[in-house]
Homo-oligomer: A and B are copies of this chain.
């Protein structure tokens, strides 16, 4: 079973004062990774680690000579413009770098002066997609989402017979994945309006969000060599937030028989910070099956997965319309849920994806699928929150939404908290809808 170590000690404080503030997403117990540079500069992007409102610049850190051994090699790998090389090093290297940074960033650390010289303020930074994503696979791990959306696409057959046996997933588009702050045009395409006999062409009328987690693969596996579930988590670098924007009207017309395509691949938005599995260890929970559901097949089952394969990551979706933005109004919460409700775990996704011999590579991305919880206020997409557009969501200022309108911004947030552990957060994942191209 997973053991916590000194880096998880909730009593740790950093000499970076902002890291010790209540509610800060990036205390010293977190130490997530991103790639960044100074805003508007011609600097190369490079890896960084968040601490409070600062970033430890891994390129500067690697040059400083402060770290030794495996941690130094990890910092050097993280100094590149994408994190793939660091991801490829494996969990021992990530862990060594985390421990070294935890020690060097603690109050009283001898390395304070040297590390201070490697800090860049987050307020001055811009971010990029943290890895060259070779392949992106989107899973479908919320049984609540699958049931809710299934009711609308297939009223007589909402949850298909394979759902409780197979961690359903499909391949997604890597090229259109962007980083928080992404603005994208409303997609246009073919749709079949209800009752029509021929499809029409035009801007999407049912533009939706999907609150997901993004799971970055660290070390890969060779083609033909499955990853057993007992080793699956060793291949996972970390987790971020993911908004899998969806054009429901395009999806409804195109998705049979080969799955969603243009309804999903116009844009997907990631949060910049990737929280490592090690940082998430204190927030593990048991993975259980509802009474009467089949138990996972052997290749999807292990004692560790049952005992602590799930993560209690708190999630929230905020919506800010153009009118709210103009009025200086913050986004309004439209969903609050947790990753603990997922039907399949991260380890099960890895084991399933590779059981046929498929090879994963460092920097590959998994989407968790839309993470709806069991109740309506935990529904993680407008198609569920509004019951297919029938019941609009009320917003401050008298506005309401069935689907996203031009100018809408969506903010995803995630965090973990638990008695006896620090609170850590994922930062924000923001995206904005631009009008369709004319």
Contacts and interface: CB of A to CB of B under 8 A. Distances in A.
B175 A173 contact: no
Contact of A261 (B171, B261, B297): B171
A351 to B, nearest CB: 12
Contacts of A364: 175
A135 interface: yes
Given A175-B135, A176-B223, A198 B294 contact: yes
Contact of A175 (B176, B356, B361): B361
Task: Report how many copies the assembly holds.
Answer: 2
Contacts of A256: 160, 162
A360 B224 contact: no
A134 B254 contact: no
B175 A360 contact: yes
Interface in A338-363: 352-353, 355-361
Interface residues of A, number: 70
A33 B224 CA distance: 29
A18 to B, nearest CB: 34
Interface of A is mostly: loop
Contacts of A294: 198
A242 B328 CA distance: 55
A115 to B, nearest CB: 36
A162 B249 CA distance: 13
Interface stretch (A187-195, A281-289, A405-413): A187-195
In this complex, the member of A154, A168, A178 whose beta carbon has the largest number of chain B beta carbons within 10 angstroms is A168
Given A170-B258, A223-B266, 16 more contacts: A135-B173, A135-B175, A162-B192, A166-B190, A168-B254, A168-B258, A170-B171, A170-B260, A176-B223, A178-B223, A184-B224, A189-B356, A198-B294, A247-B356, A257-B259, A357-B437
